[in-house]
Amino acid sequence: MSTSLSGQRILMQASSEAEESVLGPFSSARNAGSDSVHCAQCGGWWALEAIRGVGADGATRPWAEVRLPVDTGAAARRRGLLGNRRRQEGGRSTAKRAEILAQAYEPFCPRSHRLASSAQRMQVVGVIGPVGSSKSHYLAGAVYELLYEQQLAGFDMDLAYRDGHGGSEMESRINDVYTNKAVLPVSEMGSVSGPYTYRLTRDASIGSEAESVDLVFFDVAGEDCMSKHRSAGTARHLFDAEGVVLLIDPDGLPSPGRPLEPRGGAPLASRAIVDNLADAMEEIHGRSAREQGQTVVIAIAKADSANLPPDVWPPEVWPHDGDAEVDAEGLRKRLRGHSDKCRAFLERNGGRGIVAAARNRFGTERVYYAAVSATGEAPTNGSWQAPRPIGCSIPIAQILCLGVDYR
C-alpha cells in the first residue's frame, strides 16, 4: 500500500535535511549551478540534486531521474542536419519518457514546497490584502478573465492552462464560484494554496521569437500576508514577485469627516498595510523598496458594493463588442487613465494615507490603482445569484504591460 502524498512530503522533508545544508537554497542560479531550480516560497535557488519528484501514486524519486528536458537549439539542429538523430531524447528512449510522463511527477524543493516549473522563466504575481478583502475570489476572477476572456490579447499576449501545475485546483475554484455559485471559505492561517501556474506567451514580433514564461499565483491567508513577520515565512514569494496586487476593502476605509475607525468590523485599510509590505521587502533584500523594481497595484476590492463614481465603475478599459479597434498603446493609455481615476477617488474618500505611503515607499512610477469585483454582486443567503468577474484582470495587465512606463 502506497504512502499518502502528504506522508511522502514529510518523509521527503526529513530525508533531505542533511542535503539542504549543502545544496541550498542559494542566492542565485549562478551560485547553485546551471541546472538549479528556483522556489518562489523559499526565495532561493536549489541545486538539481536537491529536488525530489513526487508521482501521482505518491512515489518519490530524485527529480534528475524523472524530469524530461527538451533538446532544442543549435546542437539539436546540428544532429538533424547530420542525419544521426536517434530515437532517444534527453538520454532516454521515447517509451521511457512516455512512461515517466504518465506518472505525472511534480517537483518539490527540500522544504516540501511544490515548484511552479523546472524549465520556464517564472513571473510571480503576489495578491495580498486583509481578512475579508476576498483574495480567493479575486484570484478566481482574475484567472477567469485572463483565460476565458483573453483580456491580454490586445497586447499580443496569451494565457493558457498548464496541466499538472495547480491549474486543476484553480479550475475547481472557478467552477465553484461561477457555476455552482458557492462562496469560498476563508483561507486558513498558515496555509499556502498554489502555485497556480499558467503559460504566458508574448507573440513574436518581426525578427524575433515568441517568448513564454510561467505566470504564477499563490493564495495565502490575510493574517499571514499582512503581518511583516508572518509574510517573511508564509508569503515569501511576495518579495521576489514581478508585482503585488494589494486588495483593500472599501468597508475598511474611514468615513469622511469621522475618526479613523473601521466600519462594519473590517480591519482599517490604513497606510500601515503599505508600510508593512515595504518594511518586509527592505529587511529581506537589504535595500529600499524603491530600488527593487516591483510594480504595486492598489485595488479597491468588492467595487460593486462601493459608491464609486460612474467614470470609475464599471471600468472602461477593455474594448466591448462594436468598439473601434484599440491598439496596445491605446490600451496602456486606458490602464493609466483608470489608475488615475481610482487614485483620485481614494484620496477623496479616506485613502489618502494609503496613496501617500505607496508614493513615498515605492515611487509614483511603480504604483497603479484599480477597482475590481470578483462576482459583481454581494452574496445572498450564502450564495451568489449571477456572479461574473469585473476588472479583475486590470491589475495583472498593469503589472505586465505598464511596469515603469507610468506617465
pLDDT average, residue stretch 101-120 = 78
pLDDT average, residue stretch 81-88 = 47
pLDDT average, residue stretch 268-288 = 80
Determine, yes or no, domain membership for 367.
yes
**Rounded distance between C-alpha atoms, residue 366 and residue 75, angstroms:** 41
- Reported as a single tens digit per residue, the pLDDT across 194-204 is 788 888 988 75
What is the pLDDT confidence band of residue 267, given thresholds at 50, 70 and 90? very low
Same domain, 82 and 155: no
Determine, yes or no, domain membership for 307.
yes
SS3 (DSSP) at 159: strand
User: Which domain-ending residue is among 80, 108, 136?
Assistant: 108
pLDDT at 155: 92
**Rounded distance between C-alpha atoms, residue 123 and residue 400, angstroms:** 9
**Rounded distance between C-alpha atoms, residue 266 and residue 133, angstroms:** 9
Same domain, 89 and 232: no
Same domain, 126 and 247: yes
Helix 352-362 vs helix 272-285: crossing angle, to nearest 10:
20
Residue type, 296: V
User: Which domain-ending residue is among 81, 108, 135?
Assistant: 108
Whether the per-residue pLDDT at 186 is higher than 60: the answer is yes
Which residue from 367, 348, 374 is spatially nearest to 277, judged by alpha carbons? 367
Same domain, 139 and 34: no
pLDDT at 88: 45
Q: Count other C-beta atoms under 10 Å from residue 82's C-beta.
A: 8
pLDDT at 407: 36
Same domain, 138 and 227: yes
**Rounded distance between C-alpha atoms, residue 298 and residue 295, angstroms:** 10
What is the pLDDT confidence band of residue 114, given thresholds at 50, 70 and 90? confident
Determine, yes or no, domain membership for 114.
no
CA atoms within 13 A on the CB side of 46: 29
Whether the per-residue pLDDT at 265 is higher than 50: the answer is no
126 contact partners, CB below 8 Å, separation of at least 6: 218, 225, 235, 237, 238, 241, 243, 244, 245
pLDDT at 261: 43
Determine, yes or no, domain membership for 221.
yes
Same domain, 215 and 88: no
Determine, yes or no, domain membership for 82.
yes
**Pairing label, strands 52-54, 60-62:** antiparallel
Same domain, 129 and 104: no
pLDDT at 64: 83
Same domain, 63 and 147: no
Least confident of 80-94, 242-256, 326-340, 387-401: 80-94
Determine, yes or no, domain membership for 74.
yes
pLDDT at 113: 83
What is the pLDDT confidence band of residue 334, given thresholds at 50, 70 and 90? very high
SS3 (DSSP) at 308: coil
User: Which domain-ending residue is among 69, 85, 108?
Assistant: 108
Least confident of 94-108, 172-186, 286-300, 323-337: 94-108
**Rounded distance between C-alpha atoms, residue 295 and residue 402, angstroms:** 9
- Whichever domain contains 200, its CATH number is 3.40.50.300
pLDDT average, residue stretch 282-310 = 88
Least confident of 146-150, 188-192, 302-306, 323-327: 188-192
Determine, yes or no, domain membership for 116.
no
Determine, yes or no, domain membership for 113.
no
**Which residues form the domain of 289?**
121-405
**Rounded distance between C-alpha atoms, residue 295 and residue 275, angstroms:** 15
Cell of 363: 515611487
Same domain, 83 and 172: no
- What is the count of structural domains for the chain? 2
Which residue from 329, 263, 273 is spatially nearest to 299, judged by alpha carbons? 273
pLDDT average, residue stretch 121-134 = 82
pLDDT at 376: 94
Helix 352-362 vs helix 328-348: crossing angle, to nearest 10:
130
What is the pLDDT confidence band of residue 273, given thresholds at 50, 70 and 90? confident
What is the pLDDT confidence band of residue 333, given thresholds at 50, 70 and 90? very high
**Share of residues in the chain with pLDDT > 70 (%):** 73
pLDDT at 341: 96
Instruction: Give the chain's mean pLDDT.
Output: 78
What is the pLDDT confidence band of residue 306, given thresholds at 50, 70 and 90? confident
User: Could you tell me the CA-to-CA distances from 281 to 224, 286, 364 in Å, in that order?
Assistant: 15, 8, 17
The neighbouring-strand residues paired with 369 are 298
pLDDT at 398: 96
Residue 108 · residue 115 · CB < 8 Å:
yes
Three state DSSP letters for 332-392: HHHHHHHHHHHHHHHHHCCCHHHHHHHHHHHCHHHEEEEECECCCCCCECCECCCCCCECC
**Rounded distance between C-alpha atoms, residue 210 and residue 208, angstroms:** 7
Q: Across 99-108, 187-196, 309-318, which has the greatest mean pLDDT?
A: 309-318
Same domain, 60 and 150: no
Residue 176 · residue 184 · CB < 8 Å:
yes
Same domain, 58 and 133: no
User: Could you tell me the CA-to-CA distances from 134 to 4, 143, 189 in Å, in that order?
Assistant: 32, 14, 14
Same domain, 67 and 146: no
